[in-house]
Amino acid sequence: CGCKGIRSCLLCEGPAQAAPPPQGEDNFTYCPATGLAKGNEDSEFAAWAFPFPGVFLAEEFISKDEESEIVELMDRDDWKPSQSGRKKQDYGPKVNFKKQRLKAGSFTGLPSFSKKIVAQMKGCSVLGGFLPVEQCNLDYMPERGSAIDPHFDDWWLWGERLVSLNLLSKTVLSMSCDSEDSIQLFPIFSKENGELSRPRSLTQTSACKNSGEAGDNCIFSPRLVPSKEVTVAIHLPQRSLVVLYGDARYKWKHAIYRKHIEHRRICVTFRELSAEFSAGGRHEELGKELLEIALSFQGRPV
């Protein structure tokens, strides 16, 4: 396998498997219709919610036939072993993130089958002007214990928006935050048996307590919780496209846990250039050169 350091998979853990990597329990679930992260019913945050900005989710972004064709074309090329039970195909420049060095290397562009996908992205409201300079295909299999630990994507080279197409099976993108800040939760009321039910641990204002009111006119105060105690599940259906930007890109780490890989899953991630390599940036010319290569759509995995 391709595991290094603290990374492991079912292949290298062996028959007497070591303790699997930590797999957090998500206590909130992202709702695409409202943009809220809502507390899960079986958690202490049931009936609480907070705004979770920076996520765009498009279901059925491509058809079943398009999916089949894309995967067939991918499988004609070799998949290289990667860490944590994944396999990968990279289409992008040669990068040393630690030393912040970048060159075209053997990069010959994004694959031809991505031209239609990139064109279709222009119809997404959050992807205006999106020009991908890199594509990474990751193959996940339950038999290998495939996963990816909570992490931020680099922002020296990669820009504001991370775009991923989820193929072959559904999964869950788990979001976590290491910030010392707190999150302000707001109560949400749901109807049960025709009556409004209030969240657990709901705090009434002192005015309500003093008056003895408990009706709908009573105001309830928000609840503050440490960011580190909150994890948000973003459910990714098969053939869906997800975009992370803003807070979801820079404040929240994203992960795929082993338990959420039930069948073969392929993730196709596209990245754009940061401001440093874009128009007016310090390395604008190098950025132009890399984009010209990328958007020729004549590439093979590097």
Give the CATH number, domain containing residue 248: 2.60.120.590
As a whole number of Å, the end-to-end CA separation of the chain is 19
Output phi, psi for 260, to 5 deg: -95, 10
Residues 35, 59: one domain? Answer: no
C-alpha closest to that of 67 among 180, 197, 168, 144: 168
Distance from C-alpha of 200 to C-alpha of 39, rounded to nearest angstrom: 11
Query: Which residue range is the domain that position 283 belongs to?
Result: 55-170+243-301
Residue 210 confidence (pLDDT): 47
Residues 226, 88: one domain? Answer: no
Sign of CA dihedral 45, 49, 51, 52: positive
In a domain, 150, yes or no: yes
pLDDT band at 285 (very low <50, low <70, confident <90, very high): very high
In a domain, 104, yes or no: yes
C-alpha closest to that of 22 among 153, 176, 142, 149: 149
pLDDT band at 205 (very low <50, low <70, confident <90, very high): very low
C-alpha closest to that of 66 among 301, 241, 236: 241
Residues 47, 107: one domain? Answer: no
In a domain, 211, yes or no: no
Instruction: Give the count of domains, the chain.
Output: 2
Residue 204 confidence (pLDDT): 45
Output phi, psi for 248, to 5 deg: -65, -20
In the predicted structure, residue 103 carries a pLDDT above the cut 80:
yes
Residues 74, 119: one domain? Answer: yes
User: What's the average model confidence in pLDDT over 44-59?
Assistant: 97
In the predicted structure, residue 198 carries a pLDDT above the cut 90:
no
Residue 41 confidence (pLDDT): 94
User: What's the average model confidence in pLDDT over 43-55?
Assistant: 96
In angstroms, what CA-CA distances link 30 with 73, 96, 172, 182, 233?
A: 33, 34, 10, 18, 6
In a domain, 209, yes or no: no
Residue 192 confidence (pLDDT): 54
Identify which has the larger pLDDT, 76 or 210: 76
Residue 16 confidence (pLDDT): 59
In the predicted structure, residue 44 carries a pLDDT above the cut 60:
yes
How do beta strands 231-236 and 28-31 pair?
parallel
In the predicted structure, residue 156 carries a pLDDT above the cut 80:
yes
Residue 221 confidence (pLDDT): 74
Q: What is the DSSP letter of 238?
A: T
Among 236, 259, 275, identify where a domain stops.
236
In a domain, 35, yes or no: yes
Query: Residues of 100-116 as b/e, b for ≥16 C-beta within 10 angstroms?
Result: eebebeebbbbbebbee
Residues 59, 70: one domain? Answer: yes
Asked whether the beta carbons of 268 and 74 are under 8 A apart, the reply is no
Residue 34 confidence (pLDDT): 96
pLDDT band at 25 (very low <50, low <70, confident <90, very high): confident
How do beta strands 55-58 and 80-81 pair?
unpaired
Residues 257, 166: one domain? Answer: yes
In a domain, 46, yes or no: yes
Residue 14 confidence (pLDDT): 77
Identify which has the larger pLDDT, 193 or 47: 47
Contacts of 22 (CB under 8 A, 6+ apart): none
pLDDT band at 17 (very low <50, low <70, confident <90, very high): low
